[in-house]
Structure 1
């Protein structure tokens, strides 16, 4: 069996508010080219110290619930030792410990093997950096 490795970097603008950005369509488009109907693995990685990748339901309030839960766990106040940027920015640097900067998903016949309501999302609480990169890599 031949194996192939293909990678692409997405440029994502998240804006000036905390964001859960759905990347599912971008991942599917990448796999249509990279996987070409093959089985394998898709790795999604965000090379930033203040963002993460989550697999969750979107559009039914779960994305807002995630941001609310992160506010409860990581309040944007002055308790953080890391103190530059917006007030509470230190919490953004703790985020990847809770929402990791990567996810690896099975790919079957060129498609992500996601559950019915699952989406691949970039979670970005850092309002000081609106420009993000997300690296998609397919091994199959």
Structure 2
């Protein structure tokens, strides 16, 4: 693999409750090694059918607001055709259509060019899968 493209899979323990997990520190750590002060793109991908990646403010209630909005849009009840797992689990399979399983962030001088309050977050409403993987890729 050339220096122009570097990729790594990281493990994220999300536990047994719905969560918005901040991936920003892991992305920054990856870029220190992979980008080495170069310009390019960071691509964050979740290879799961029931999780997504969002750029959102964390720690000020926005993460809880996102989960509340997802509850309103995708209630955990028996309306879903996909019925294995916890009650309402079918909604978890619809989540990636609303919160996509990827995000791409510009990198300048080895640093993500996020807005002041933006963080890269894993959004996981699936209480049945407490362990996730996230692929971080740098192209530069």
Question: Which bin holds the TM-score, normalised by the shorter protein?
Answer: over 0.9
* 1:80-127, Cα deviation, whole Å (9 max, x unpaired): 000000000000000000000000010000000001000000000000
The alignment partner of 1:44 has SS state of strand
- Measured after TM superposition, the shift of residue 3 of structure 1 is 6.0
Structure 2 residue 115 is the aligned partner of structure 1 residue 86: no
Distance in 1 between the 2:13 and 2:3 partners?
A: 33
Q: Aligned-residue CA RMSD in angstroms?
A: 0.9
- TM-score norm. by structure 1 comes to 0.98
Q: Specify every segment of 5 or more residues in structure 1 that has no aligned partner in the other structure, as ranges.
A: none
Distance in 2 between the 1:37 and 1:115 partners?
A: 19
Match of 2:64? 64
Alignment of structure 1 residues 1-140 onto 2, 5 Å: 4-140=4-140
Distance in 1 between the 2:4 and 2:113 partners?
A: 19
Distance in 1 between the 2:111 and 2:42 partners?
A: 9
Distance in 1 between the 2:115 and 2:40 partners?
A: 17
- TM-score norm. by structure 2 comes to 0.98
Structure 1 stretches of 4+ with a deviation exceeding 4 A read: none
Distance in 1 between the 2:28 and 2:130 partners?
A: 23
